[in-house]
Amino acid sequence: MTLPRAYEDQLVERAKQDADAFGELYDHYFGQIYRFIFSRLRDQEAAEDVTSEVFFKALRAIGRYKPSGHPFSAWLYQISVNAINDHYRSRKPTSSLDSAIAVADPARPVDDRVVDSAEAARVWAAIDDLPPQQRAAMTLKLGEDMKLAQIGEILGKSEGAVKLLIHRGMIGVRLRLGVVVAVEEQS
């Protein structure tokens, strides 16, 4: 659910001085930010760490925030993307493609496969293996159902560039999933 823009702008302004207003922003955006971060990290402890980092950074910087015509959430996602990248730089991913290979079953229909959590992990492990920008664009589009323009705002890219990232990301996922299938078929 999106806050009415005028109300959100007022709320952000109040949040620069008013702790309760910041709490209201937190209440509204916590779920999607946490979900986005978790979808990238898939580790509860790490997701909680990074989510905390994101909101504390937001609190620290909100005094300098100026509305840019984009939703406030875009700013939070920007912080999140950076925090996730920092996390990846400091730690290895918590799961790997290798761990998912053994449980893949390409013969099953897609709709059946997705209910299998291992299959879900395998698919998103393929996304994890993408270059950072493709990974972020794919997560925001397919994990958060964002518009291309909004993704561009978060990543600092044009809409066309985001399209390119998603297109390449999608091909990359297919390739990675295809390689897995090939390995399993050989075995």
Lookup: tokens for 70 = 């984009």
Q: Shortest approach of other proteins to residue 159 CB, angstroms? A: 9
From the list 186, 17, 5, 15, the residue with the least C-alpha distance to 104 is 186
Q: Shortest approach of other proteins to residue 62 CB, angstroms? A: 6
Lookup: tokens for 137 = 């664009």
Nearer to other proteins, 85 or 163 (CB): 163
Nearer to other proteins, 78 or 142 (CB): 142
The answer to whether the beta carbons of residues 163 and 109 sit under 8 Å apart is no
Nearer to other proteins, 9 or 43 (CB): 43
Nearer to other proteins, 59 or 97 (CB): 59
Q: How far apart are CA 120 and CA 140, in angstroms?
A: 17
Q: Shortest approach of other proteins to residue 123 CB, angstroms? A: 4
Q: How far apart are CA 155 and CA 136, in angstroms?
A: 8
Residues in the site for other proteins, rule: CB under 8 A?
A: 15-20, 22-23, 26-27, 30-31, 34-35, 38-39, 42, 44, 47-49, 51-53, 55-56, 59-60, 62-64, 110-111, 113-114, 119-120, 123-124, 127, 138, 141-143, 145, 147-148, 163, 166-167, 170-171, 173-174, 177
> What are the backbone dihedrals phi and psi of residue 114, each rounded to the nearest 5 degrees, phi first?
-70, -20
Nearer to other proteins, 39 or 85 (CB): 39
- CA torsion sign for 77, 82, 83, 84 is positive
CA 157 and chain centroid, separation: 16
Q: Shortest approach of other proteins to residue 35 CB, angstroms? A: 7
The answer to whether the beta carbons of residues 29 and 80 sit under 8 Å apart is no
Q: Shortest approach of other proteins to residue 72 CB, angstroms? A: 15
